[in-house]
Amino acid sequence: MRVFITFHGSCEPFDISPDQTVGTVKLMVKDYFHVQLSDDKQVRHFLELSYAGAILLDSWFLTDVGIPPGSAIRCLLKQEPVVRVFSAVTGETLSVLGPVVLLSASVARLVTLVSQQCGLPVSSFRLSSPTGLQLYDCNRLHDYAIDLGATLRLDTWDGWVEFLRGCFLGHRRTVQRHLSRERPVMRFQLRVALYIAASLGHLDLACWLLERGVRANEPVGVHPYREWCHQTAHPDAAKCPAIAAVERGQLTILKLFIASSVLTLACRDPQGHGLLRIALQHGHRECVRHLATKLFSVVALLGMALPMRTYVQIKRWVKLGQRRAASRLCMGLNRAPFRTRVDDTVLVDGFTLPKMSSKPRKGEAKAGIRVTSKASQPLTPINCPSHVSCTLCALAFQDASLHLPKLYPRGRGCEENESGDQNSNQWRSRVPLPPISRDTNLRPLLVSASPNSSQVLTTSLESFSLHCDRTPRENAVYCLALASAFTERPWIKQLDVARTLARRSVQNMG
């Protein structure tokens, strides 16, 4: 049959036989358009074919996915990720793009890229190698022998998975239900929740957090358990939620933050860049217009008018004076270099087991050390691997869109590992089927059914599960998940594709 493949603005016909796979078609496209895929050793590229909104896998036949003759298939030249990061929070696998030189960069650089891509603050997760070794910010990636295309793991604090999922979905009640009972940890969680709400544009959650006293112009900081490792903290721990809103271009959230406190206009990132410059660097025009309008406006006071920059500076001086006065009052009560008290949990790199393994709240391991009178003894040197108005909310909520985390993998190389726990949870979550039926009612037997028919059927199902590493039900869910990616096709057509894929999986066993 003849199909048309579009590549870089041109549309060319290709005659494809029914027994040719998508991988063979890619080779034909590569030879026809003279695409060089292996010459550039710094940035690796690969071809990707897509049809009806879905990415075609190399092992598929065009007839399997219901591509009729005369169809137009889109071909793209994409960059192969340097590393992949599996998130234990959302269940998705992130692809980190960039040159191969990134493997020789510091872990802190990779953590920054992952934070910008997933929306989590750097102090709320850690990365580990494929062998389970924790990656410290002060080391480099090649120190851990991480190869190109390796899959790292992202873990969060124990008992935080449900809390962070509520933040990603913008569910205020879920976030409130899973807050910690420790006040310092709860305050840190509220700052993390506001950061995520700013990144993803969850207006209702952000309004609730601002009402609880969380400030958008204050940095997220580090976990209270890591107070003794404050000097080795990631520089991006000083980022505030307002910076995250500007980086993601969340104009509605930015307006909310400025309306709640004018000091938001004075926020700066760890490099000292203001909000306007950050918006310009990321190319968010609407944010640039709004920030320029605010920064170059005039504040009318009693008998005088001040430029906004001057007014913000005066407000900062007043806040600084209030903090210094409060610190002097408390100076006689607290002279300790740390705010840690006796019986508080403290984590020290190189001495204690990390409490960032994404364990549920009930299964938290009591790791860490307890601060006692012996805690002041010198430690041996270590090599550290390292009220907003309701009117504003109602008007802005109309423009706020709900961003749900994608719980299925995208990109190349994910289709070959369906048997693992990570990927199986991903494709199973896309098709929420009802539970397995336990109906024990007797059914009338077919006239032509033999006495051994049930045994033959049971043996066939067991043989399928043995060779396919999936039960027949799991294989049906897997095929439905693949077919549901063809979003531009009707549901009945997606069902036909799922049937064909399921039939092909049985034929491949033979």
pLDDT by residue (tens digit) across 105-158?
A: 899 999 999 999 999 999 999 999 998 889 988 899 888 988 888 899 999 999
Q: What is the pLDDT of residues 201-250, one digit of tens each?
A: 999 999 999 999 999 999 999 998 887 777 778 999 999 999 999 999 99
User: What is the rounded average pLDDT for all residues in the chain?
Assistant: 78
Task: Give the residue, 444 or 52, on which the prediction is more confident.
Answer: 52
Any idea how long the chain is?
A: 510
Taking the C-alpha atoms of residue 29 and residue 8, their distance in angstroms, rounded to an integer, is 12
Task: Give the residue, 286 or 227, on which the prediction is more confident.
Answer: 286
Give me the pLDDT at residue 28, please.
87
Give me the pLDDT at residue 409, please.
39
Per-residue pLDDT band for 196 (boundaries 50, 70, 90) equals: very high
| Domain topology for 2-79 | Ubiquitin-like (UB roll) (3.10.20)
* Percentage with pLDDT > 70 across the chain: 73
For the ranges 6-10, 347-351, 400-404, 468-472, which has the lowest average pLDDT?
Answer: 400-404
Residue 126 β-bridge partners? 155
* Percentage with pLDDT > 90 across the chain: 29
Give me the pLDDT at residue 325, please.
78
Average pLDDT value for residue range 281-302: 90
Please state which architecture CATH assigns to domain 85-328+392-397: Alpha Horseshoe (1.25)
Give me the pLDDT at residue 188, please.
94
Residue 115: which residues within 8 A CB-CB, separation 6 or more? 121, 122, 236
Residue 61 β-bridge partners? 21
From the list 137, 383, 389, 365, the residue with the least C-alpha distance to 255 is 389
Q: What is the pLDDT of residues 304-362, one digit of tens each?
A: 888 888 888 888 888 788 777 776 765 554 555 556 667 677 777 777 777 888 888 76
From the list 119, 134, 149, the residue with the least C-alpha distance to 356 is 134
Average pLDDT value for residue range 4-21: 85
Give yes or no for residue 477 having a pLDDT over 70: yes
Taking the C-alpha atoms of residue 373 and residue 138, their distance in angstroms, rounded to an integer, is 30
User: What are the backbone dihedrals phi and psi of residue 414, each rounded to the nearest 5 degrees, phi first?
Assistant: -90, -15
Whole-prediction pTM value?
0.68
Give yes or no for residue 493 having a pLDDT over 70: yes
Helix (H, G, I), strand (E, B) or coil at 61: strand
Per-residue pLDDT band for 384 (boundaries 50, 70, 90) equals: very low
Residue 157: which residues within 8 A CB-CB, separation 6 or more? 124, 223, 355, 356
Give yes or no for residue 396 having a pLDDT over 70: no
Give me the pLDDT at residue 331, please.
54
Please count the other Cβ atoms lying within 10 Å of the Cβ belonging to residue 403: 16
Q: What is the pLDDT of residues 57-104, one digit of tens each?
A: 888 888 777 788 888 888 888 777 889 999 999 888 888 887 778 888
Q: What are the C-alpha distances in Å from 41 to residues 29, 94, 103, 166, 320?
A: 21, 22, 13, 41, 52
Conformation bin of residue 176: beta by default, left when phi > 0, alpha when psi is -120 to 50: alpha
Give me the pLDDT at residue 416, please.
39
Average pLDDT value for residue range 42-53: 78
Per-residue pLDDT band for 398 (boundaries 50, 70, 90) equals: very low
Please count the other Cβ atoms lying within 10 Å of the Cβ belonging to residue 310: 11
| 245 within 8 A of 116, measured Cβ to Cβ | no
For the ranges 63-67, 162-166, 195-199, 447-451, which has the lowest average pLDDT?
Answer: 447-451
Give me the pLDDT at residue 466, please.
67
H/E run at residue 75: strand 72-79
Taking the C-alpha atoms of residue 354 and residue 346, their distance in angstroms, rounded to an integer, is 10
| 123 within 8 A of 221, measured Cβ to Cβ | yes
From the list 191, 199, 289, the residue with the least C-alpha distance to 243 is 199
Taking the C-alpha atoms of residue 29 and residue 47, their distance in angstroms, rounded to an integer, is 9
Query: CB under 8 Å, gap of 24 or more: what pairs does 411-415 form?
Result: 411/81, 411/84, 411/93, 411/95, 412/46, 412/48, 412/78, 412/80, 413/84, 413/149, 414/93, 415/57, 415/59
Average pLDDT value for residue range 453-473: 64
User: What are the backbone dihedrals phi and psi of residue 370, each rounded to the nearest 5 degrees, phi first?
Assistant: -100, 130
Crossing angle (nearest 10°) for helices 183-200 and 161-169: 30
Residue 300 exposed, middle or buried by CB count within 10 Å (0-12, 13-18, 19+): exposed
Task: Give the residue, 321 or 460, on which the prediction is more confident.
Answer: 321
Give me the pLDDT at residue 367, please.
43
Average pLDDT value for residue range 274-303: 90
